[in-house]
Amino acid sequence: MVGTRQVVVGAAIVRDGRVLACRRTAPPEAAGRWELPGGKVEPGEVPEAALVREVREELGCDIAVTSWLAAETTIGDRYVLRVAVAALVAGEPDPVEHDAVRWLGPDELGDVDWLDPDRPFLLPIAEWLETPNADPRPTLDTVTSVPDERLLLVHAHPDDETIQNGATMAKYVAMGRGVTLVTCTAGEMGEILVPELEHLAADREDGLGEHRRGELDDAMKELGVTDHRFLGGFGTYRDSGMQWHADGYAIPADETHQNAFWNADLREAADHLVAIIREIRPQVLLTYDQFGNYGHPDHIQAHRVATYAASLAAVPSYKPDLGEPWDIPKVYWSAMAESRFRATLKLLREAGDTETFSGMEPDADFGPFVTPDEHISARVDGSEYLDTKLAALARHRSQVETDGLFFRGSENGQSMWGEEFYRIAKGTPGPVGEDGWESDLFSGL
């Protein structure tokens, strides 16, 4: 808020010396006129995060704010409009709330009928576009409000991030750390656990991906994460699906979609992530282990893409157009600590619960599903944020049963989900506690 006025933010999205304009369809008095995309800053939001969110909702693409124009205008007696120069970092503009978009050069800004509040910004935008060597690509020197400590997570499908790292994410957001989530697919092939949503299945309406996109947005609001993106933009890669091997782990399905993530060109997919790494410059990267935790092909592919991209991003001579090189100091893989899992399973069985982790017994051989304690490097205690994690998980409504495993009381093992464990794959562990593990992934940096 500015005085009694609510802040509205607009994005001058620049690419190749042109700025993006969007044509309104409503209300009637604005229909057919052009504007910069954007919207209101909600209570508790910073303007940069609000602008990223609004553009994602309106155009289905991801931007990074690089600078704010000095001018501002009022809209009636309730709002004040501010405009930022922004770079397109993932996806292509696909209008949802508009019926057309155009890229306009500095000499073309007068070719369309702009909404009145946007007009005062046209001259500074034109001057910016005409600046020699003007480059909107974000760097740490130009992006505003960049936290000193930054975490990047790479996951395969919506809900994976909350199940494996939700407490860590919520805790680090609360600590003021930057948290960026990259999701590789929209989970189009996921099992639907809510009967009223079964019509969205891939073999029916095939609308689950778009639905889960909304679920992910809602879950990230619960965790407080404002920077979440789809690899290459929404819809670039599709959930590959899976089937179960006789020995109890996941393997690729017999048939996959042509743009299934499992079939993705590794370097092409890695390049999408290289650009994000060089933009965000995280000190810590989280992803899956080489087995994808339980063998899911998309988890394995996410591991491969993240590993390759982290390596390529550090090479100064590799594709300079993707940004300045960045070597991520620490890389971790999510893990299920063997001792904690056995202890929790024992409690469940002693309490008479034979359904949770059906077929598994406390003294069984769990293979790569769990990680021996001696291979664990870090334990993040997110028990204070367990309720936040569970609230976020509940937002993935199509994929979870609210009376299922994750939502049972602590006496039935729910408390294990407040602790999240990690293996270090790159970097030097920092100081450890009495348990021999780091308690903070940024430890030692």
| Of the candidates 283, 169, 282, the residue with the CA atom closest to the CA atom of residue 224 | 169
Residues 263, 180 share a domain? yes
The pLDDT value given to residue 39: 92
What would the two tokens of residue 110 be? 């007068």
The set of long-range contacts for 319-327, using a CB threshold of 8 Å and a minimum separation of 24, is: 319/271, 319/274, 322/271, 322/274, 322/275, 322/278, 323/137, 323/139, 323/274, 323/275, 323/278, 323/279, 324/139, 324/278, 325/278, 326/277, 326/278, 326/281
Residues 384, 305 share a domain? yes
The pLDDT value given to residue 272: 93
Cβ atoms of 241 and 234 closer than 8 Å: no
Residue pointed to by tokens 């919207």? 39
Residues 265, 117 share a domain? no
**For 205-248, what is each residue's pLDDT tens digit?**
888 999 999 999 999 999 999 889 999 888 899 999 989 888 87
Residues 170, 68 share a domain? no
Domain finish residue from 100, 129, 158: 129
Residues 165, 105 share a domain? no
Domain finish residue from 95, 129, 163: 129
**For 240-273, what is each residue's pLDDT tens digit?**
998 988 887 888 888 888 899 999 999 999 999 9
Tally of domains within the chain: 2
Backbone phi, then psi, for 168, in 5-degree steps? -60, -45
Strands 284-287 and 378-381: unpaired
Average pLDDT, the chain: 87
Q: What is the mean pLDDT of the segment spanning 58-63?
A: 89
The pLDDT value given to residue 417: 79
The pLDDT value given to residue 146: 65
The pLDDT value given to residue 344: 82
Residues 86, 154 share a domain? no
Q: What is the mean pLDDT of the segment spanning 409-422?
A: 66
The pLDDT value given to residue 410: 42
Residues 206, 67 share a domain? no
**For 73-85, what is each residue's pLDDT tens digit?**
888 888 889 998 9
The pLDDT value given to residue 389: 92
DSSP string for 102-139: EEE-TTTGGGS-B-GGGGGGHHHHHHHHTSTT------
The pLDDT value given to residue 4: 62
Residues 204, 118 share a domain? no
What would the two tokens of residue 401 be? 């049963």
Residue range of the domain that includes 24: 6-129
**Residue 436 domain flag:** no
Residues 187, 111 share a domain? no
The pLDDT value given to residue 443: 92
The CATH number that applies at residue 65 is 3.90.79.10
The pLDDT value given to residue 409: 46
**Residue 145 domain flag:** no
Distance of alpha carbon 42 from alpha carbon 29, whole angstroms: 25
Q: What is the mean pLDDT of the segment spanning 116-143?
A: 74
Q: What is the mean pLDDT of the segment spanning 160-167?
A: 94
Residues 96, 161 share a domain? no
Q: What is the mean pLDDT of the segment spanning 9-22?
A: 92
The pLDDT value given to residue 411: 42
**Residue 207 domain flag:** yes
Residue 413 has pLDDT above 90, yes or no: no
**Residue 441 domain flag:** no
| Residue 203 confidence class, pLDDT cut points 50, 70, 90 | confident
**Residue 415 domain flag:** yes
Extract the runs of DSSP E, i.e. beta strands, from 18-117: 18-24, 34-35, 38-40, 62-75, 79-90, 98-104
Distance of alpha carbon 81 from alpha carbon 110, whole angstroms: 20
The CATH number that applies at residue 338 is 3.40.50.10320
Q: What is the mean pLDDT of the segment spanning 293-322?
A: 95
**Residue 108 domain flag:** yes
Residues 320, 259 share a domain? yes
Residues 110, 200 share a domain? no
**Residue 432 domain flag:** no
Cβ atoms of 180 and 279 closer than 8 Å: no
The pLDDT value given to residue 165: 96
Q: Indicate the helix (H) or strand (E) that contains 238.
A: none
The pLDDT value given to residue 114: 95
Strands 250-251 and 178-183: unpaired
**Residue 136 domain flag:** no
